[in-house]
């Protein structure tokens, strides 16, 4: 009796994709695809793949079929179209974050790859975006083709990658595409480049350096500087404090406290509003009695809803104004030595007639040309004679600040001071700083926690004893 012949098991699957038919199979651990105009052609291609037991690439199938792969026009919406819908439907973000996302995709993502002669990423159908496209975009963000355009920092590129990945993940959930191409990109978030020396970018002041800096501020500016250093509050949190948020101790033995309950947020329209703190981490911080004494002077005869710190003309203190008009001048004073001041700019001139300070390089505090008329025979006006605004001493004398911290560096300084005390645990410091997770604290200040490794060795010695 003759044995019945067995037909080979067909390899791959055929699915309709818009107006065309797609054959999909796995080869060497990855998916291979071919696209055909009719289901009959797709079945014929499937027989070829089956004959090779799936061990064949898509381009070989096209060659065996005697055709050149011509991908039909996509019916899937473009990245720009879908991203706009996704952003409008995104919940759980502030107006400022929504505006930032919109600016990022419009300025960097949508036009990406156009300079390489390719279809811009924003105009590309979602199903035509590949891992190669995304990897190329990330490399361009790191190192733009235009030599005049600086590359972005790793942390900034990570934000772009995270945003793109969120959009593509949502597209998979909405069944716009079947796979997220970003998953095929070997990108390490917040990666350290091969040429990154790993040197500390934060400025963490010692107590002595901090005292030099604080003494350089005018008396009316010192309370804000003291609070930033004594609490580690973010700028947006410190300047949002009201009188009601300052809680002096009411019983013997209790500590004075400051409530960090709100912060300034961008409204996405160029303005600001008061919202929750970053990560919605409201906290009540114990503070030194000396700081409370300073703050009480700010609170005298003022209503509870008034801002604790205000601009000279009233209203909120804006970071850029404080930085240019208060912080930078104080920093320059802290970095100048009375015995070895920086060299002067400007001086006598021989030309007759009236001259203006701007003709000799004088600029105002915003860097714009100064229009003041100079004194007779001088190259600059009275305000712009002497050292340049940012000039500092180069001597090695004591009592002079050598580094240039920013207001945010006072937060890093606060954290460094806490880590220097063994009584403070990383978890307690993390909560005081308002970090959503302890891992965030570890990533930012990991170099300040070597004691944990030393403690691990001590613990093992105690348990196991000497060998």
- Residues 6 or more apart from 242 whose CB is under 8 A from it? 304, 305, 306, 307, 308
In this prediction, residue 407 has a pLDDT band, given cuts at 50, 70 and 90, of very high
Same domain, 126 and 56: no
Same domain, 98 and 124: yes
Do 74 and 20 contact (CB within 8 A), yes or no? no
Q: Is the pTM of this model over 0.85?
A: no
| Tens of pLDDT, residues 180-236 | 999 888 776 555 444 444 445 789 999 999 999 999 999 999 999 999 999 999 999
Statement: residue 3 has pLDDT above 60: no
Same domain, 157 and 111: yes
Angle between helices 154-173 and 95-104 (to 10 degrees): 100
Same domain, 285 and 318: yes
Domain with 320 in it: 202-329+405-467
Q: What pLDDT score was predicted for residue 274? A: 92
Residue 40 has phi, psi (to 5 degrees) of -65, -45
**Order of strands, sheet of 30-36, starting from the edge strand that comes earlier in the sequence:** 13-17, 20-27, 30-36
- Say if 250 falls within a structural domain: yes
Measured distance CA(29)–CA(22) in Å, rounded: 19
Q: What pLDDT score was predicted for residue 181? A: 92
Stretch 384-394: mean pLDDT? 78
In this prediction, residue 344 has a pLDDT band, given cuts at 50, 70 and 90, of confident
Statement: residue 455 has pLDDT above 90: no
* Number of domains the chain is built from: 3
More confident residue, 368 or 287: 287
In this prediction, residue 246 has a pLDDT band, given cuts at 50, 70 and 90, of very high
Same domain, 148 and 49: no
- Residues 6 or more apart from 311 whose CB is under 8 A from it? 317, 318, 321
Measured distance CA(379)–CA(348) in Å, rounded: 6
Same domain, 304 and 434: yes
Same domain, 178 and 312: no
- Say if 195 falls within a structural domain: no
| Tens of pLDDT, residues 299-340 | 988 999 999 999 988 889 999 999 999 999 999 999 999 888
- Say if 314 falls within a structural domain: yes
Statement: residue 410 has pLDDT above 80: yes
In this prediction, residue 456 has a pLDDT band, given cuts at 50, 70 and 90, of low
Q: What pLDDT score was predicted for residue 229? A: 95
- Say if 393 falls within a structural domain: no
Share above pLDDT 70 across residues of the chain, in percent, rounded to a whole number: 88
- Say if 373 falls within a structural domain: no
Same domain, 414 and 287: yes
| Tens of pLDDT, residues 101-126 | 999 999 999 999 888 878 899 998 99
Same domain, 173 and 103: yes
Final residue before a domain boundary, out of 119, 153, 184: 184
- Say if 411 falls within a structural domain: yes
Final residue before a domain boundary, out of 184, 212, 240: 184
Q: Which two tokens stand for residue 61?
A: 């199938």
Same domain, 177 and 295: no
Stretch 68-97: mean pLDDT? 84
More confident residue, 359 or 23: 23
Residue-by-residue DSSP string for 299-325:
HTT--TTSBSS--TTSSPPPHHHHIII
- Say if 345 falls within a structural domain: no
- Say if 344 falls within a structural domain: no
Q: What is the CA radius of gyration of the chain?
A: 32
Statement: residue 352 has pLDDT above 90: no
Same domain, 59 and 92: no
Same domain, 155 and 273: no
Q: Which residues are registered as beta bridge partners of 31? A: 26
Final residue before a domain boundary, out of 184, 215, 248: 184
Statement: residue 354 has pLDDT above 90: no
Look up the CATH number of the domain holding residue 278. 1.10.443.10
């Amino acid at each position: 009796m003759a044995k019945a012949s067995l037909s080979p098991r067909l390899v791959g699957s055929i699915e309709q994709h818009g107006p065309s038919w797609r054959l999909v199979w796995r080869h060497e651990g990855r998916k291979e695809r071919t696209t055909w105009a009719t289901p009959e052609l797709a079945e014929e291609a499937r027989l070829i793949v089956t004959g090779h037991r799936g061990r064949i690439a898509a381009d070989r199938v096209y060659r065996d079929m005697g055709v050149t792969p011509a991908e039909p026009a996509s019916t899937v919406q473009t990245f720009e179209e879908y991203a706009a819908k996704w952003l409008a439907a995104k919940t759980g973000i502030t107006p400022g974050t929504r505006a930032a996302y919109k600016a990022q995709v419009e300025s960097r993502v949508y036009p990406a790859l156009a300079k390489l002669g390719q279809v811009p990423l924003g105009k590309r159908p979602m199903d035509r975006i590949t891992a190669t496209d995304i990897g190329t975009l990330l490399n361009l963000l790191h190192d733009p083709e235009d030599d005049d355009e600086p590359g972005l920092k790793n942390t900034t590129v990570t934000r772009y990658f995270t945003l793109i990945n969120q959009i593509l993940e949502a597209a998979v959930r909405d069944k716009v595409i079947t796979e997220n191409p970003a998953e095929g990109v070997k990108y390490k978030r917040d990666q350290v480049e091969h040429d990154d020396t790993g040197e500390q970018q934060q400025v963490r002041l010692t107590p002595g350096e901090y005292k030099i800096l604080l003494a350089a501020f005018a008396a009316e500016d010192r309370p804000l500087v003291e609070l930033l250093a004594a609490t580690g509050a973010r700028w947006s949190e410190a300047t949002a404090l009201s009188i009601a948020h300052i809680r002096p101790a009411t019983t013997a033995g209790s500590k004075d406290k400051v409530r960090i309950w709100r912060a300034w947020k961008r409204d996405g329209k160029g303005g600001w509003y008061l919202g929750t703190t970053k990560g919605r981490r409201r906290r009540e911080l114990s503070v030194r009695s000396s700081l409370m004494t300073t703050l009480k002077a700010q609170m005298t005869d003022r209503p509870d809803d008034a801002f604790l710190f205000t601009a000279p003309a009233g209203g909120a203190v804006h970071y850029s104004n404080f930085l240019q008009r208060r912080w930078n001048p104080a920093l320059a004073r802290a970095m100048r030595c009375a015995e070895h001041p920086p060299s002067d700019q400007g001086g006598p001139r021989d030309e007759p007639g009236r001259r203006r300070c701007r003709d000799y390089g004088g600029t105002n505090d915003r860097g714009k040309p100064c229009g003041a008329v100079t004194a007779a025979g001088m190259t600059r006006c009275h305000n712009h004679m002497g050292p340049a605004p940012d000039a500092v001493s180069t001597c090695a004398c004591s009592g002079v600040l050598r580094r240039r911290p920013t207001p945010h560096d006072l937060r890093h300084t606060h954290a460094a001071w806490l880590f220097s005390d063994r009584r403070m645990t990383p978890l307690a410091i993390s909560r005081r700083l308002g970090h959503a997770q302890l891992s965030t604290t570890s990533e930012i200040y990991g170099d300040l926690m070597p004691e944990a490794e030393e403690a691990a060795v001590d613990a093992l010695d105690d348990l196991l004893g000497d060998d």
